[in-house]
Structure 1
């Protein structure tokens, strides 16, 4: 009844099914690992944001320091004076709603304890009339200020961020203490501070960046379950197809057997 399974067409179908099963199982685990990575990231952000603030230079104590993953988003403080002469903007950045394209304003802060200089992302400003003109930026507060913010690692080119040369003066594509240290010769501590509060509070300042979302776990677990359900359906589908083929063959055979036989006159 099922000898047709030895035909070329059905052997190829069986081979495809056997190849699909491990592939879909692997894809399910890939989505599971992405889910676990998202959960770990959310827990890291939540923990970092609620930890007791520490001085920036106790975590990044030297120029060129690469901020490790477990310190990213840690709440930090810094006290010193802004250096507006070396302020710059970072292109193609969105506001808190994600709808408008503009610039991040990056101003170095010379630490009061003499430990070095820290890049501070003071927030977002809108683009001007021309992409080659420096945008209108609220002036950095004069005198000594006390800042609170989030520790961030230097940005690197990749993904949606492309580092291109030939940009207008004081415009960059990356927030990178390493890049700025090479350009200015300043002793910049590794990483940068993403500003959340300033004392004394300025009358005008760029739009502060919102706290990162650490509640959304994404669709990856649902995708993993879908892949594994598809895995289970592969052998079921093969059996259903084979049984339907056998049933059609039985009907065809029964119809052939029941035909009247022509008798010569």
Structure 2
């Protein structure tokens, strides 16, 4: 009855099922891994956003780098802006509009400074036109903002290139920017959320990160891939069962047809009723 399972067509189907199952297992595990990664990242970012502000010196030192566990932590820093070395960060979108981030060093003293992203400004009327940038305040200020690690091509997805207009960059990278400054930069940068004293007008603050669902979709996709394993196995067994049923029905029909033919043949050899044999 089950010898049909060894025919070329069915052997090909077996191979497909045996290949599909481990593929679905792998895809499910990959999605669950992404779920754990994003959930962990979401927990870290949420905790840091809700934490009380601390002086930046407690988290990062001049020449050091921002640890991944402290990104988006709210910090405070005091100093005076250096508008002579301010930069515009190109290709930054906010409110569905293309514009620039306004990046200004905040000199803290003792030959040290922190890069501060003061906010976003709308791009100029043409590609070559400079945007209108509110000036940085003079004198001592206290900045409160979210600590961010330096951007790289890998972390930002932005391809860095040269030949930019003077005073413009594509990436906020403290190491690269610090090479042209007369003081040492603290690793990473601060995205301003509050400043004392306040100034007006001022660049538009950068909104907080979207924590999202913490990988909930990845978890759902993982479950979905593993459900597909049951669908593949169930479909394979259903096809076998249907084939067995169809072959059994065909054999019964053939047996019935064969029995009817034998019966008709026997009837054909019998003499008609009432006829005498010689």
TM-score by length of 1: 0.91
> Counterpart in 2 of 1:247?
245
Residue 209 of structure 1: how far off its partner (Å): 1.1
Q: In the alignment, is the contact (CA less than 8 A) between 1:161 and 1:174 conserved in 2?
A: yes
Q: How many Å separate the matches in 1 of 2:23 and 2:182?
A: 52
DSSP 3-state at the match of 2:188: strand
Counterparts of 1:201-212 in structure 2 under 5 Å?
201-212=198-209
Partner residue of 2:271?
Answer: none
Q: 1:61 to 1:115 in 2, by over 3 A?
A: farther
Query: RMSD of the TM alignment (CA)?
Result: 2.0
Farther off after superposition, 73-82 or 240-249:
240-249
Residue in structure 2 matched with residue 151 of structure 1 by the alignment? 147
Q: What is the CA-CA distance between 1:91 and the residue it aligns to?
A: 1.1
Q: Tell me what 1:56 maps to.
A: 56
- Report Cα offsets for 1:194-236 as digits up to 9, x if no partner: 1000001111111101122235224111101101100122211
Partner of 2:174: 177
The answer (yes or no) to whether the contact 1:132–1:168 under 8 Å persists in 2 is no
How many angstroms apart in 2 are the aligned matches of 1:145 and 1:110? 10
* Match runs of 1:227-246 below 5 Å: 227-246=225-244
Structure 1 residue matching 2:115: 3-state secondary structure: strand
Name stretches of at least 5 consecutive residues in structure 2 with no aligned partner: 266-278
Please give the alpha-carbon distance, in whole angstroms, between the structure 2 residues aligned to 1:255 and 1:102: 78
Contact 1:81/1:143, CA 8 A, preserved across alignment:
yes
Matched, 1:197 2:194: yes
Residue in 2 that maps onto 1:129: 125
Q: CA deviation at 1:52?
A: 2.5
Q: 1:211 to 1:128 in 2, by over 3 A?
A: same
TM (norm. structure 2) is: 0.87
Matched, 1:26 2:26: yes
CA contact (8 A) 2:111 2:183 kept: no
1:255 CA drift (Å): 4.1
Query: Is the radius of gyration larger for structure 1 or structure 2?
Result: 2
